[in-house]
Amino acid sequence: MTSRTPWKRMAALLAASTLALTACGQADNLAEDEETTAPVQTAQETETDQPPATEGDGGGEPGEATIRFAWWGSDSRHQMNQQLIDAFEAEHPNITVVPDYTDWGGYWDKLATQTAAGDTPDVMMQEERYLREYADRGILANLNDFDVDTSKIDPSILGSGEFSDGLWGIATGVNVRVMMADPEVFAAAGVEMPDDKTWTWDDYNEIMSQISANTEDGVYGAQDFGIPESVELTVWARQHGQDLWDPSGEIGFDPETMAARWQVTLDLIEAGGAPEVSQGLEINAAGPEQSLVATGRGAISPFWSNQLEAITSAAGHELQLLRYPGESQFERQGLFLKPAMALSMSASSEYPEEAALFLDWMLNSPEAGEIILSDRGLPANLDVRAHIMDQLGEADQQAAQFVEDVSADILDSANTPPRGAGEVNSLLQRINEEVLFGQITPQEGAERFIEEASAITGD
């Protein structure tokens, strides 16, 4: 027989305990703050009997040290980095490097949580959009204070880690934004490959629409999803003599410029040259291996030059790299060398000398270069770059050659993004969707983006 009390009691109990769980926060870490700011040297002295490895070269043999190296990436990168760690440990038996890795999305959650707990990895991968976020809060070490050699680093990208009177991260390599083109789709459509030094955005629209029209259903001209990533805007704004950010870290373009870029995509979708919006959204979210070019469903997909290897192997045949349209259409050229990712060090590392040694070794030693190859972009160290060139795979060599060719024409680097750039990128993603789905006009989208992005980076 159903009786009143048990069910009602159970409901109340469950309600109470579930309520308690909704407010699950992060672990209590306020007490740890003092620890992280404590002098590093003391910790080191208490843990090792031997004299600590300190400034200068005359200090004798350094003691045992354990440092942690954090990165994001795929399985192949995890294996590669493990190989790297093994090679470093063989050279420096007194140093143990602990790997700490995850995928891109989880990486920033993890890094923020570890930092909150006073447990920042000694050496970590950083990215342009987050570098300031961490550096300005005193979490990263100023690499100028350590014995890290930057004399061979490509000067055009070294600057990306220099601000606020310090060097907070060193770019590991360079990338260029490219249009990856599938010659087979062009051939099937009977359309000639454009001259990428002179083609305009109007040519782009025309050629892409023609390819869609000339091929079977489900094969498109371009994978064009408006401005899902800030780089699409950076290239476009630079072509118009502007930039995403101005040198002081404020919005560097006007709303009309941004709106015009959206109009390119809207016109292209209208003309059938790109998949319709909701399909485009799925394709865009599915990653490089599922892109139109990688799956033979389109003539062109935009990517970074270091992604060519993966996309070529997914496509199963050689692809061609094209410069962005419009490089000679407006005020100036838009392409730029982008620092692929950066290596940084924790300001609270227990073994800063050892961490700096490891960081320096990864950047500058030919041995490390041979293992890393172009995984972190075309190596930033120019000697290492030359050293590994003939060891690269076919597609990587093709990408390296392209970067070389383009470099000659590149005018300057894009301005460094301000603090909050990570958040701005997700803002851009949302407004991009609203504009493409027709919920707001390009002009409204541009004005709102500028207003909200300024608010995010302003404080």
Partner 1 sequence: MSVLSELGSLRKSKSLDRGPSQRHDGKWALFFLAPWFVGLVLIVAGPLLASLYLSLTDYDLLSNANFIGLENYVEMFGDRRLRKSLVVTFTYVIVSVPLQLMAALGLALLLDRGLRGLAIYRSAFYLPSLLGSSVAIAILWRQIFGADGLVNQLLAVIGIDGPGWISHPDYALGTLMVLNVWTFGSPMVIFLAGLRQIPTMYYEAASLDGASKLQQFFTITLPLLSPIIFFNLVLQVINAFQTFTQSYIVSNGTGGPVDSTLFYTLYLYQEGFGNLNMGYASAMAWLLLVIIAGMTAANFLLSKYWVFYND
Q: Is 27 in the site for partner 1 (CB under 8 A)?
A: yes
Q: Is 217 in the site for partner 1 (CB under 8 A)?
A: no
Chain position carrying tokens 């992604």: 307
Q: Is 154 in the site for partner 1 (CB under 8 A)?
A: no
Give the DSSP per-residue string, 10-41: HHHHHHHHHHHHHT------GGGHHHHHS-HH
Q: Is 142 in the site for partner 1 (CB under 8 A)?
A: no
Among 59, 138, 183, 366, which residue interacts with partner 1 (rule: CB under 8 A)? 138
Binding span for partner 1 by CB under 8 A among 12-20, 42-50, 150-158, 229-237: 12-20
Q: Pick the closer one to partner 1 by CB: 38 or 187.
A: 38
Residues 384-413 that bind partner 1 (CB under 8 A): none
Chain position carrying tokens 């006009």: 441
Q: Pick the closer one to partner 1 by CB: 184 or 433.
A: 433
Q: Pick the closer one to partner 1 by CB: 285 or 411.
A: 285
User: Interface mask (CB under 8 A) for partner 1, residues 94-133, using x and -?
Assistant: -----------x--xx--xx-xx----------------x
With vertex at residue 261, the alpha carbon angle to CA 260 and CA 262, rounded to the nearest 5 degrees, is 90
Q: Pick the closer one to partner 1 by CB: 120 or 175.
A: 120
Binding span for partner 1 by CB under 8 A among 19-27, 322-330, 355-363, 381-389: 19-27
Binding span for partner 1 by CB under 8 A among 1-9, 76-84, 325-333, 376-384: 1-9
- Residue 365: Cβ within 10 Å count: 17
Q: Pick the closer one to partner 1 by CB: 134 or 245.
A: 134
Among 21, 60, 216, 408, which residue interacts with partner 1 (rule: CB under 8 A)? 21
What's the half-sphere exposure (Cβ side, CA atoms, 13 Å) at 349?
A: 28
Rounded to the nearest whole angstrom, what is the least distance from the CB of residue 361 to partner 1 in the complex? Answer: 28
Q: CA nearest 210: which of 179, 182, 188?
A: 188
Among 48, 102, 214, 279, which residue interacts with partner 1 (rule: CB under 8 A)? 279
Among 41, 144, 391, 426, which residue interacts with partner 1 (rule: CB under 8 A)? 426
Q: Which amino acid does the sequence have at 31?
A: A
With vertex at residue 417, the alpha carbon angle to CA 415 and CA 422, rounded to the nearest 5 degrees, is 155
Q: Which 3 state secondary structure label does DSSP give 394?
A: helix
Using an 8 Å Cβ cutoff, are 240 and 416 in contact?
no
Chain position carrying tokens 């306020």: 30
Among 147, 149, 282, 331, which residue interacts with partner 1 (rule: CB under 8 A)? 282
What are the structure tokens assigned to 146, written together?
A: 């350590």
Rounded to the nearest whole angstrom, what is the least distance from the CB of residue 24 to partner 1 in the complex? Answer: 6
Among 71, 72, 101, 134, which residue interacts with partner 1 (rule: CB under 8 A)? 134
Q: What is the DSSP letter of 251?
A: B
Q: Is 294 in the site for partner 1 (CB under 8 A)?
A: no
Q: Is 434 in the site for partner 1 (CB under 8 A)?
A: yes
Using an 8 Å Cβ cutoff, are 342 and 128 in contact?
yes
Q: Which amino acid does the sequence have at 389?
A: M
- Give CA–CA dist 181/312, Å, rounded: 10
Rounded to the nearest whole angstrom, what is the least distance from the CB of residue 14 to partner 1 in the complex? Answer: 6
Q: What sign has the CA pseudo-torsion 297, 301, 307, 309?
A: positive
Q: Pick the closer one to partner 1 by CB: 87 or 116.
A: 116
Chain position carrying tokens 């309600």: 15
Q: How far apart are the first and last CA of the chain?
A: 63
- Give CA–CA dist 226/259, Å, rounded: 10
The gap from C-alpha 416 to its chain's centroid, in whole angstroms, comes to: 13
Q: Pick the closer one to partner 1 by CB: 53 or 231.
A: 231
Number of residues that bind partner 1 (CB under 8 A): 55
Among 119, 250, 367, 423, which residue interacts with partner 1 (rule: CB under 8 A)? 423
- Residue 188: Cβ within 10 Å count: 16
Which residues contribute to the site for partner 1 (CB under 8 A)? 1-4, 7-28, 30, 33, 105, 108-109, 112-113, 115-116, 133-134, 137-139, 277-279, 281-282, 285, 422-423, 426, 429-430, 433-434, 437, 439
